[in-house]
C-alpha cells in the first residue's frame, strides 16, 4: 500500500506540533505502555490507532513505506513510527535511522483489499531504556483488537497468489532471530537508503528527522523495474530479505555470506563460494552462486523452496516469492561465467 503525499504530510505536521490542536477526545499514545517494564496484553493499550480496524494512526504516529519491502507471503504491510514529544530521528548516513528511547515502530500484516481486507498481526518494536523489545499481537476475527501472542500462532489463509497456507505469527524469541545483531535486538526496515527521497524530505521539514542524508544511494523498487540490469534489483531484494541475518553479527553470520547492499566482495556475496556446511539445504549444488547457472546455485535453490530445513529465509514465509526468485535468477544469468 502506497500512502499519498497528503496523508504523509498531514501525519508529519501532527507530529511536529498539531497534536496540541487535536480534539480532546482523540486517542493519545501511552508513553508508559511503550517504555514501561511490562508487556501490554492488548494492542489498544498503546493508543497507536485512532481507528484500529481502518489502521488510522493516532496523533503523533507517522506512516511510512519502504522502497523495497520485506516479502512475507505477499502480505500487505502498514508501517508506522511513533516518537515521544520533543524528540526526533537521527540520520546516520544511508543506514538505519537512529530512534530515541521511547520510540516505537509498528507494522501490521494484512491480506485482501477493501472490505475484504483482514488484519492478521501487528508487530511492535519498543525502544526502552535497556534496548529494543519486539512483541507480536494477533488480531481477533472481529478486527477490533489484537492480543499479545508471546507464543506466536498459526492462521489459515489464502495468499494474493491464490495459495492456501498456514501463516505463521512469530513468537517473541523468533522476532529476535531476525532483529538480532551482535546479541542485541535492532530495527531492520527503516534504513535511510530504503526510504523515498520524498519521505525523507518531508520528515526533515516536519521535524521528524534531523536532516536528509547527503548523496544517498536509495534502494530501487525492484518490482517496478521489469527491464534494465538485474544486479541492483536483485541486490536490493537480497539486502532487505536476507541481509538482516547474512551479515557480520547477524544470525547467519557463520555461513560466511554477507548480502548487504554495501558489500562489493564477490565471494562474500556467494559468487563461487562453497557452503560452510553442505547438507540437504544445498540441493546437491557446490556453490552459493554459480555465475550464469541459476539452477546450479544454492542461493536460488533455497529461495525457491518452501520446505522446512531447505527454504530461505527460514522464518517469515510459507510460500515462494516467484517474482523475487525471477529477479535473482536474471541477475545470476547476467553474470559472466568464471
List phi, psi (to 5°) of 80.
-145, 155
User: Distance between CA 261 and CA 71 in Å, rounded?
Assistant: 17
| 8 A C-beta contact, residue 225 and residue 231 | no
Residue 75 contacts residue 169 (beta carbons within 8 Å): no
pLDDT in the model for residue 216? 65
- Report how far apart the first and last C-alpha atoms of the chain are (Å, whole number): 41
* CB-CB neighbours of 88 under 10 Å: 21
Comparing CA positions, the residue from 179, 197, 159 lying closest to residue 71 is 159
Return the pLDDT at 41.
Answer: 97
The reported pLDDT for the residue numbered 173 is 77
pLDDT tens-place values along the chain, 338 residues long: 334 344 454 444 444 433 333 333 556 899 999 999 999 999 999 999 999 999 999 999 999 999 889 999 999 999 999 999 999 999 988 888 999 999 999 999 999 988 889 999 999 999 999 999 999 999 999 999 999 999 999 999 999 999 999 999 988 777 666 676 667 778 888 999 999 889 999 999 999 999 998 866 788 887 777 677 899 999 999 999 999 889 888 888 888 899 999 999 999 999 999 988 767 878 889 999 999 999 999 999 999 998 888 888 887 789 999 999 999 999 999 997 54
| pLDDT for res 182 | 60
Amino acid at each position: 500500500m502506497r500512502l499519498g503525499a497528503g496523508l504523509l504530510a498531514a501525519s508529519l505536521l501532527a507530529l511536529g506540533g498539531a497534536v496540541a490542536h487535536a480534539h480532546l477526545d482523540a486517542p493519545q499514545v501511552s508513553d508508559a505502555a511503550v517504555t514501561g517494564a511490562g508487556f501490554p496484553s492488548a494492542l489498544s493499550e498503546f493508543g497507536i490507532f485512532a481507528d484500529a480496524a481502518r489502521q488510522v494512526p493516532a496523533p503523533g504516529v507517522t506512516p511510512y513505506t519502504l522502497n523495497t519491502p520485506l516479502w512475507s507471503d505477499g502480505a500487505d504491510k502498514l508501517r508506522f513510527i511513533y516518537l515521544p514529544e520533543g524528540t526526533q530521528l537521527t540520520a546516520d548516513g544511508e543506514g538505519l535511522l537512529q530512534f530515541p528511547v521511547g520510540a516505537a515502530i509498528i507494522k501490521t500484516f494484512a491480506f485482501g483489499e477493501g472490505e475484504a481486507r483482514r488484519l492478521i498481526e501487528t508487530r511492535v518494536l519498543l525502544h526502552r531504556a535497556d534496548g529494543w523489545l519486539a512483541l507480536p499481537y494477533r488480531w481477533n476475527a472481529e478486527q477490533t483488537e489484537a492480543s499479545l501472542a508471546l507464543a506466536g500462532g498459526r492462521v489459515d489463509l489464502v495468499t494474493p497468489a491464490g495459495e492456501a497456507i498456514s501463516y505463521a505469527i512469530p513468537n517473541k524469541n523468533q522476532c529476535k532471530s531476525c532483529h538480532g545483531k551482535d546479541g542485541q535486538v535492532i530495527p531492520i526496515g527503516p534504513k535511510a537508503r530504503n526510504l523515498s527521497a520524498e519521505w525523507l524530505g518531508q520528515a526533515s521539514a516536519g521535524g521528524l528527522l534531523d536532516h536528509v542524508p547527503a548523496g544517498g544511494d536509495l534502494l530501487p523498487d525492484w518490482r517496478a523495474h521489469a527491464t534494465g540490469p538485474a544486479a541492483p534489483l536483485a541486490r536490493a531484494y537480497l539486502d532487505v530479505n536476507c541481509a538482516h541475518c547474512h551479515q557480520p553479527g547477524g544470525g547467519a553470520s557463520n555461513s560466511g555470506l554477507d548480502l548487504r547492499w554495501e558489500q562489493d566482495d564477490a565471494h562474500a556475496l556467494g559468487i563461487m563460494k562453497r557452503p560452510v556446511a553442505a547438507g540437504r539445504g544445498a540441493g546437491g549444488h557446490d556453490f552459493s552462486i554459480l555465475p550464469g547457472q541459476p539452477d546450479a546455485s544454492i542461493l536460488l535453490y533455497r529461495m525457491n523452496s518452501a520446505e522446512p530445513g531447505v527454504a530461505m529465509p527460514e522464518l517469515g514465509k510459507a510460500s515462494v516469492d516467484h517474482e523475487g526468485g525471477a529477479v535473482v535468477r536474471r541477475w545470476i544469468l547476467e553474470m559472466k561465467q568464471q
